[in-house]
Amino acid sequence: MSAESSIRAFVDAADDYLARHPGPGIADVRAGLAASRLQDFKPRRPRENAVVAAHLPAALAVLRSSEPQLAEGIATVAPLLGWTTYDVYPHELIGTDFADGHAFGSVIGEGAPL
């Protein structure tokens, strides 16, 4: 599967997941996902991240038991994303564990594939 097909399949999997869950803001997120389907694909240079390498496999193992399609989508797109550990949060407010143990990789938006 191409990088573009993988990213678009992940957006579909995320939308399928959200469609099954009520709550504030979900409709807005799903509208954003729908709009992203109309965006041109912009290949990005993947960027590895030590936090992702250390924690994503275990997180996906847990997710696979309840949401296998979403877990597979994340596993497929993870190597395609530019992962970042955002370090400007004040450690005293968010805690060292979060500050040193999180990462994000954008699929939609500025600097992202869609």
Q: Is pLDDT of 87 > 80?
A: no
Two structure tokens written together for 107 = 């699929």
pTM recorded for the entire structure: 0.87
The domain ranges of the chain are: 3-101
Q: Using alpha carbons, list the distances in angstroms from residue 41 to 21, 108, 109.
A: 28, 10, 11
pLDDT in tens, 25-84: 999 999 999 999 999 999 999 999 999 999 999 999 999 999 999 999 999 999 999 999
